[in-house]
Structure 1
């Protein structure tokens, strides 16, 4: 339950050592660079222009990434279905440095791969073009003369198509109607379909204009491609050309696959240039004089001595460490044990604690795991979730930190689910009793350690609301702690103590009431002193809230109005408490659906077919039920934390700590 204390860590060193020191800081990965010019030194300090260098490094990193994408397309890297959990490979620094020395060679390889990919794309486009040409030639394959033939000395040849399906007789008839004086002509239909009729026509050269005019009157047009060869022969040439290009493509693809041996080098060099770009981005922020440079930033207090010793042992350097001023908002870094740390991802999705707030992870983790298990509440589901998460954590130790925390959270939630499943007697719903009754003829039941919610849902509702009250009171208590910590004692009395008095008084008044008795069948009788105390607490709390909630206003009437409005917030408390009825709803949903699945499976009977049918329904049904209710438990547990719990004391809005480090994509570098 800790927000790590930050300090400002400032360095002044010789300019010639700036790149080496930056590499040390980047490898150490615990300093968030935050540099500003000291006002009195602004005239003598300058910043280095690193834009061009960064662009070059980024370009090379992208080049390697693109080459890797090409290799993945033609020579896919074999990965398991759990590859996303494996994390990045750990590479020795010596291997990384050796690869970096060959950066020019590897970038040349990347360019070759991309060049081959470009050539392949061009060839594929050429094949498409050839195929389109062949398709356009298809109607003319029966033509036994070149398509650009003009005719002889006395005769003209017209080759083209009519934009509809017509017969030879129709063509002659329409020409005769358009140009009755034309007689010396011959027309041959090459092909015909519903869209066009391809023809070759011959006439005297002296009549060619009138003849073409007559043809155009019935939709004639010359072909778009003017081929100097016989179509069938030209088609064969095109097919040979396409085959040659396809063969070349096969060779190119083979070359690309052979270059897959460079995959690891490309990954390393991509990360190398990515890390250099990050270094030069920081380098461009550093104030520098002629001989020195200055760097400053935030660092966790616990890391200060380690970094100081590391730098002072290697360089002539001046280091200054100072506390963060109260008016300055430092970045936030959390540090918790494994249980509390497992819910940090959930907290971060809402917002990190801002300045002055505590890290609620530890308290939140207790309620989170508790409520999650209560919602899922099946012992078998809990065991499955726990074992699955434990195996994943063991098998994939290098998965990302965020993923590790999430899997660990579900592991703890699995244990909580197991606990509540045993308390409620839920093991795959009522599978034990169903199987024993259907297949063995003698019903065996697993008794709950506490009670069975399906038989007594009202009891679970009451306890769910009670757990909710505890959760909300804890949030209000944390608010009180923060008030005392900040020495806001009046706020503590007016905004926390008075609300405790009102709420506790109302609860004590509710417990012996007929409404509570009718709901729970529990008759609670308090001694007269307790009954009187409950009324006093409620009245004093309500009066205090009305009088003190608007205490910042000097106008008494407005102050009372604001107090009355704040007292109306009691309805918000009622709404918050009722929200915890979702613990009942989801807990019952898991058990009811599980029981329905078991009943459906038992409908096949007790024979061999019945056993097979039961197993199929059992596996499919319980898998779906567990998946749906896992999602439901996750969503609604988050909701109880974000809306009800955090609403009492927590705002968030802190800025996450973003240290200058080696942010790689493919590998992690193991420092020697």
Structure 2
């Protein structure tokens, strides 16, 4: 539950040390650079990047070519299975292997071959499309025995060849007969939709013939500079298409042979990306004729070792503390224990907290686990979720995001086991229908079960609402703690304690009226509500100097009680999701029991339905549980104390998208 303390520093160095120092800063991975020119616009200083534009463009060109080759070869890799995709694709290398590849691998030759093969395949594909189109166009003219080179207009006659919709042929023949007898109309072929025709007519009547053809939806065939009859040309096209496919296959085989070099290309992508960042980060620096300065943030605990290592290694470099500018907030780095750290994923999805906020990850964790467990309400399902998450974490390598997700699922599975035991849910089994031989199991189940959600849904609803009320009060207490920490004690009393008094007083008063607690507690609740409401009315609008405006704002703020009521009622979604899980599990078991009596295949069908049905129920309700539980945290919980909008701490470091560089054991 900690936002790591940050200190602002400025690094002054001689220009001769620039490249080596930047590489060292990237290796250290502790310095979050800020733009010096934005903070000190009045300073007449030049960015060192002006000297690095050409090297940066060169690195961008190299990176672009290597990425092209990698993306091209990815098409020919063997498809990976689902588990392989989930486990990540990072390549494990020792520092020595990494250095050897970056020094010795001739990427230019591989890139050149990939570019040539890509261009060849593109040309062959375009040629194949051209030939296929020509083949399709000539196929209806196969019955024509006249060489195409002889189909030409003469001095006195025009030639029209193409196709008409079925039914228009006779109309054309009739119109031509009325126009002139100086024509020759030949139907060469016919398919389901069109007639393919040759039409010779006197040039004297060509304009009228063209008009008639246009009205009859005549489609003229494209003239082709080919020789021979359509049948002869089609045979040649078939041979050309066959050779084209062979050439394409050869290019594919040559591409597959290059796939073995893709891991080295991925290494170089990461390598040149890091080198490019060394150039681009200099846009944040400023320089004089002989020196340059870099400004940024570093974790407070890292500063002594960082300063000592840099100043010891570089004689002409000094690391000095700097005062933040007015209104400037440090970047935010959340630090938690191993148990809480996975739940930072939920916080990150909501947004980075501001530097002076309270890290919500710790108070979020138990509420998230309990809410997710309430959505599943089945101990058997909890065992499955926890076990699968544990095995996945043990057997596969994942990126940070997937690893955190699986850890949250693991804790959610454990929470589901506890809630499932308390609600008596075990794979949707109807214990009332079990034979007497299972009586001991029913007794053991009932010993730990507090209530059955399907038989007592109102009790489950009450539990969900009480749970939601507690979480909302915790949110207000966290905001009160922050106000105390920041020295705003009065704000905490007026803004949070007042509402805590109203809400808890209302609950106590309602319980008194329901006879759950005595009349004395009701009086206590009433005297909690009245001072709390008076405080809200008098001081919620204290920012207004006008007394009427202040009271008006206070009265309007008092309407916020409906918002708190809505927030509490929102937790009824846990009831809906928990009961949906139980009911679907019960239905799966019922269907499996019904098909078990089918001769021969009954038992197999029952097993398939049980396994498939319960796995589907787990998956769909785990997804629904995640979505609705996150919604409760974001809307009902975080809104009480958290202000997103902070800047994430992003130190300048080597980043590996495809690699994991570590000494081999």
Alignment TM-score, normalising by the size of structure 2: 0.87
Deviations 1:93-141 (A, max 9, x none): 33222222246x3133113212211111111211221222233333444
Structure 1: tracts of 5 or more residues without a match: 202-206, 518-522
Measured in 2, the distance between the counterparts of 1:266 and 1:490 equals 61
Distance in structure 1 (CA, Å) of the matches to 2:426 and 2:102: 57
1:302 aligned residue: 301
The alpha-carbon distance between structure 1 residues 146 and 289, as it changes in their structure 2 partners (threshold 3 A), is same
1:524 paired to 2:517 = yes
- Mapped contact 1:437–1:444 kept (Cα < 8 A): no
Provide Cα deviations, 1:406-462, integer angstroms capped at 9, x if missing partner.
Answer: 21111111101001111111101225555x449x79895332432222222222222
Task: Report the CA distance shift for 1:385/1:198 in structure 2 as closer, same or farther (over 3 A).
Answer: same
Gap change, CA 1:634 and 1:145, over 3 Å in 2: closer
After TM superposition, give the deviation of residue 336 of structure 1 in Å. 0.3
Output one character per residue of 1:552-607: Cα deviation in whole Å (capped at 9) or x when no partner. Answer: 44443333333322233222222222222233332222222222322232233667
Aligned pairs for 1:416-495 within 5 A = 416-430=415-429, 434=433, 436-437=434-435, 445=442, 446-447=445-446, 448-495=448-495
- Are residues 1:596 and 2:587 paired? yes
- Give the Cα–Cα distance (whole angstroms) in 2 for the partners of residues 153 and 617 of structure 1: 78
Distance 1:557 1:200 in 2: 94
Q: How far apart, in 2, do the equivalents of 1:462 and 1:92 lie?
A: 57
2:114–2:255 Cα contact (<8 Å) kept: yes
Within the candidate set 610, 631, 642, 2:623 is matched to 631
Given candidates 635, 642, 651, the residue that maps to 1:659 is 651
Deviation track 1:506-531 (CA, whole Å, cap 9, x = no partner) reads 22222121xx35xxxxx4335x4x44
After TM superposition, the structure 1 stretch with the greater mean CA deviation from structure 2, 45-54 or 16-25, is: 45-54
Residue-by-residue CA offset, 1:470-509 (whole Å, 9 max, x unaligned): 2122111112212211222221222233333333332222
Q: Do the aligned partners of residues 114 and 82 (structure 1) sit closer, same or farther apart at CA in structure 2, a change above 3 Å counting? A: same
* Higher mean C-alpha deviation, range 152-161 or range 480-489: 152-161
CA distance in 2 between partners of 1:52 and 1:402 (Å): 36
2:511/2:522 contact within 8 Å kept:
no
Aligned pair partner of 1:101 in 100, 103, 108: 103
Shift of 1:613: 4.0
Determine the structure 2 residue equivalent to 1:622: 614
Tell me, yes or no, if the aligned pair for 1:87 and 1:400 is still in contact at 8 Å. no
In structure 2, the CA distance between the partners of 1:152 and 1:340, relative to structure 1 (3 Å rule), is: closer
Whole-Å separation in 1 of the counterparts to 2:156 and 2:328:
96
The alpha carbon displacement at 1:465 in A equals 2.3
Which residue does 2:122 correspond to in 1? 121
Distance of aligned partners of 1:649 and 1:126 in 2 relative to their CA distance in 1, 3 Å threshold = same
**What does residue 204 of structure 1 align with?**
none
> Residue 387 of structure 1: CA displacement?
0.7
Output the CA distance in 2 between the equivalents of 1:669 and 1:41.
43
Match of 2:17 in 1: 17
Aligned partners of 1:556 and 1:200: how far apart in 2? Answer: 97
Residue 414 of structure 2 aligns to a residue in which SS? Answer: helix
- Equivalent pair of 2:15/2:291 in contact (CA under 8 Å): yes
Partner Cα separation in structure 1 for residue 290 and residue 36 of structure 2: 18
User: 1:655, CA displacement in angstroms?
Assistant: 1.3
Given the superposition, is the C-alpha separation of residues 250 and 614 from structure 1 closer, same or farther in structure 2, using an over 3 Å criterion?
Answer: closer
- In the other structure, the counterpart of 1:33 is 33
Q: CA deviation at 1:60?
A: 2.5
Distance 2:425 2:227 in 1: 84
- Relative to 1, partners in 2 of residues 1:392 and 1:169: Cα closer, same or farther, differing over 3 Å? closer
Q: Distance in 2 between matches of 1:262 and 1:122?
A: 24
Q: Distance in 1 between matches of 2:403 and 2:161?
A: 72
Distance in 2, Cα, partners of 1:471 & 1:166: 78
Kindly indicate whether residue 582 of structure 2 is the aligned counterpart of residue 582 of structure 1: no
Name the CA distance, whole Å, in 2 between partners of 1:6 and 1:553: 35
- Is the contact between residue 433 and residue 443 of structure 1 (CA under 8 Å) also seen in structure 2? no
In structure 1, distance between residues paired with 2:151 and 2:79:
59
Task: Report the Cα distance in structure 2 between the residues aligned to 1:199 and 1:305, rounded to whole angstroms.
Answer: 92
Equivalent in 70, 74, 91 of residue 68 of structure 1: 70
Q: Secondary structure at the match of 1:296?
A: strand
Match of 1:520 in 2: none
Which secondary structure does the structure 2 equivalent of 1:338 belong to? coil
- Residue-by-residue CA offset, 1:1-59 (whole Å, 9 max, x unaligned): 11001112322223222122212212222211114158699446543323443333233
Query: For 1:640, which of 622, 627, 632 is the aligned residue?
Result: 632
1:367-405 Cα deviation digits (max 9, x unpaired): 1112221232210111111111111111224x2212222
Q: Is the contact made by 1:148 and 1:227 (CA closer than 8 Å) also made in structure 2? A: yes
How many Å apart are 1:357 and its aligned residue? 1.4
What CA distance in whole angstroms lies between the structure 2 residues aligned with 1:153 and 1:128? 33
Q: What is the match of residue 264 of structure 1?
A: 263
**Contact 1:298/1:330, CA 8 A, preserved across alignment:** yes
**Normalising by the residue count of structure 1, what TM-score does the alignment of the two structures yield?**
0.87
Could you say which residue in structure 2 is the equivalent of 1:290?
289
- Measured on the aligned residues, the alpha-carbon RMSD in Å equals 3.5
Contact in 1 for aligned 2:537/2:553 (Cα 8 Å): yes
Mark the structure with the bigger radius of gyration: 1
In structure 2, the partner of 1:395 is 395
- Tell me the distance in 1 between the aligned counterparts of 2:190 and 2:489: 98
Q: Distance in 1 between matches of 2:64 and 2:155?
A: 67
Q: Distance in 1 between matches of 2:267 and 2:89?
A: 15
Structure 2 regions of 5+ residues with no counterpart?
none
Distance 1:646 1:590 in 2: 27
The verdict on how the C-alpha distance between 1:197 and 1:166 changes in structure 2, with shifts beyond 3 A counting, is farther
How much has 1:647 moved relative to structure 2? 2.3
Distance 1:542 1:309, change over 3 A: same
Q: How many Å apart are 1:71 and its aligned residue?
A: 1.6
Cα–Cα, structure 1 residues 4 and 236, in superposed 2: closer, same or farther, change >3 Å? same
Q: Which of 541, 558, 565 is the matching residue for 1:550?
A: 541
After TM superposition, give the deviation of residue 226 of structure 1 in Å.
4.3
Decide which moves more: 171-180 or 300-309.
Answer: 171-180
Q: Contact conserved, 2:47 with 2:282, CA < 8 A, in 1?
A: no
Q: Indicate how the Cα distance of structure 1 residues 139 and 655 shifts in structure 2: closer, same or farther if over 3 A, else same.
A: same
Give the equivalent residue in structure 1 for 2:311. Answer: 312
Aligned equivalents of 2:221, 2:479: Cα separation in 1: 88
